[in-house]
Amino acid sequence: MTDLILKINGVSQAFGEKKVLFDVNLAVPRGQFVSLVGPSGCGKSTLFKAVIGTHLTEHGEIRLFKVGGESQGERVTGPGRDRGIVYQHYSLFPFLNAQENVAIGLTLDGTSIPGRFFKPFTWWKKQREHMERAADMLQRVRLSEAMKLYPHQLSGGMRQRVALAQAMIMQPEVILLDEPFGALDEATREDLQGMLLKLNEDNQAARSMAGLTPLTLIIVTHELNEALYVGDRVVGLSQHWDWEAEGHAQFPGATITYDQPAPVGIAKTSRDFERFKMQREEIRRVVFEPKKKPRRTEYLAPI
C-alpha cells in the first residue's frame, strides 16, 4: 500500500438548503503535489477549510497519517502545526518583519509564554537560534536581502515567498496553498511556480534518500495551466456531474469528478503550455462545462 499522508473520507457539507459538498473522497500519498481545481462556487474553500480544521464538515472525516504516528491516522478536529497554510491574502503577520514572520512558528511551537518570562536566558538563546534558522530558510527562497522588511514594504511575490518559508520551516506533514499566486502579475507568478517546481525536484531527491520526509503540497487554483504545471496530480471538484444517475432527486453537492496524474514538470523546462493542451481541454470539459455532466467515476484514475 502507498504511504498515505491524508485521507478524505465521504465528506459532505450543506449550509441549510444550500448543498455544497457531496461524498468527497480523496487519498493523498506522501510527497505528492496535488492541484485542486474547480469552477467558482464548487466548494473548494469549504473543502480547504475542512482540511485545515477551522470549519469541520457535517459528514465524513479527514484523517492525517503522520510519520511514526498511528497506522489508523488521526482525525482532523482543528487547525494544527502538522498542516501549514499559505493564503492568497493575509499571508503574513503585518507586525513582524520577514525574518520574524518565518521564525514565529518555531517560537510559538517550541516555547511557552511562562517559559519566556521565567527562563529568559534559555529563551534568548532559543530566540537567536530561531532567527538563524529563519534566515537560512529565507535564503532558500532567495530573500536574504529583505529579511528586515515588514510585509507592507514587500512586493506581493516576496510576501508569498516569505509565507511559503513560514510554512516550510515548521516541516508540516502537508502544506495547503489557497490561490497562492492569484493576486500576482504574470512574471512573479512564473517565478514562484518555478520555485514550487524546484521544491518538487528536492522532493524526488528526498524520496530516494532514506530518512528524509518529502513535502506534500495541496494547491488550490483556478488556473488550469498552473495546476498542470506545478502539480503531479490534478483533482477537479465540480457541481456539474450526473447526480441523477445515482438516484438523487435533488442536487446533493459538488464532488470530485476528475482525478488524473499531471505531466511531471521540471524547473528548467520551458513553460510550454501547449503540451498540456489536450489535458487542459479535457479538464475544462469535464470540470468546468455546466452542460456536460460526467458520471462520478468516469474520469477518476486510481493512484
Element (H, E) at 33: strand 33-37
Minimum distance from residue 213 beta carbon to other proteins (Å): 17
Nearer to other proteins, 80 or 261 (CB): 80
Handedness of CA 73, 108, 180, 87 (dihedral sign): positive
Residue with smaller CB distance to other proteins, 96 or 206: 96
Encoded amino acid at 259, one letter:
D
Cβ(269)–Cβ(193) below 8 Å: no
Closest Cα to residue 48, out of 261, 237, 199, 241? Answer: 237
Q: Toward other proteins, which CB reaches closer, 86 or 196?
A: 86
**Least CB distance from residue 281 to other proteins, whole Å?**
34
Given the complex with other proteins, which of 83 and 189 has the nearer CB atom?
83
Element housing 61 (H / E): strand 59-64
- What count of Cα atoms within 13 Å lies in the side-chain half-sphere of residue 231? 28
In the DSSP assignment, the letter for residue 94 is: T
Q: How far is the CB of 106 from other proteins (least distance, A)?
A: 8
d(CA 263, CA 261): 7
Q: What is the rounded radius of gyration, in angstroms, for the C-alpha atoms of the chain? A: 20
- Alpha-carbon distance of 108 to 101, in angstroms, equals 11
Query: Distance between CA atoms of 300 and 303, rounded to whole angstroms?
Result: 9
Nearer to other proteins, 43 or 172 (CB): 172
**Residue the block writes with cell 513582524:** 96
Q: Least CB distance from residue 254 to other proteins, whole Å? A: 23
Binding residues vs other proteins (CB under 8 A): 52, 54, 78-81, 83-85, 87, 89-90, 93-97, 104-105, 107-110, 112-113, 150-152, 166-167, 170, 172
Which of 29, 84 has the CB closer to other proteins?
Answer: 84
Question: At 262, which amino acid appears?
Answer: A
Choice between 52 and 256, CB closer to other proteins: 52
